[in-house]
Amino acid sequence: MVVAKAPDRDAIVTLTRFQSHIVDTEIPANLSFLERLGGDRETVEGRGTMLPTTYAYTRHLLSTCAFGDCADGLTAILPCQWSYGELARPLTAHPPADPIYVDWLSLFGSDHYDELVNSTTALLDRLVDVSDDERMASLERIFERSIRYEGGFWDMTYGSPNAGSPDQGGTP
């Protein structure tokens, strides 16, 4: 949806590179991680049930991308892309012994991934007039909501599937 709202060819190129990385690299890697960890591939291929935080986060992304413009959509999805690189990059200096963890770190802690994040953040910078206080406040609300959902998504690894969801005291 974000690509469809791109204002020009350069934005389309940047966004399709981002999309291609997700489709061609991240999804296959995540399915491999799932299988290596003993998970069931069918669960993520449409036959499972999303946990509340995942459902809420994806609905936030979908509605923001559908009803907003390219900058709104990019603002909504950027915390996911950005945070993975921020988490992985410093950990690559002293990788753990766990081969799955090492593979995850190499996926998101690379120069290639940093370049992809830099190009999408540069696109957002280009699309938005930072002197427009109302617009910046609107994008800030979108970004902060995505950050809270992203945090809740990570918190699920600690056994809290409702972390960050509105019914658990969060304010996403």
Is 87 part of a structural domain of the chain? yes
Answer yes or no: is 80 within a domain.
yes
| 86 falls within a domain | yes
pLDDT tens sequence across 83-141: 999 999 999 999 999 999 999 999 999 999 999 999 999 999 999 999 999 999 999 99
Q: Does the structure show a pLDDT above 70 at 168?
A: no
The answer as to whether 4 is a domain residue is no
Residue 138 sits in a domain of what CATH number? 1.20.910.10
pLDDT at 163: 54
Are 28 and 127 a contacting pair, CB within 8 Å? no
User: Residue 3: inside a domain, yes or no?
Assistant: no
Q: How many distinct structural domains can be found in the chain?
A: 1
Inside any domain, residue 115: yes
DSSP 37-85: TT--HHIIIIIS---HHHHHHHHHHHHHHHHS-HHHHHHHHHHHHHHHH
Query: At residue 156, does pLDDT exceed 50?
Result: yes
Q: Is residue 43 part of a domain?
A: no
Name the pLDDT band for 170 (thresholds 50, 70, 90). Answer: very low
Residue 20 lies in a domain: yes
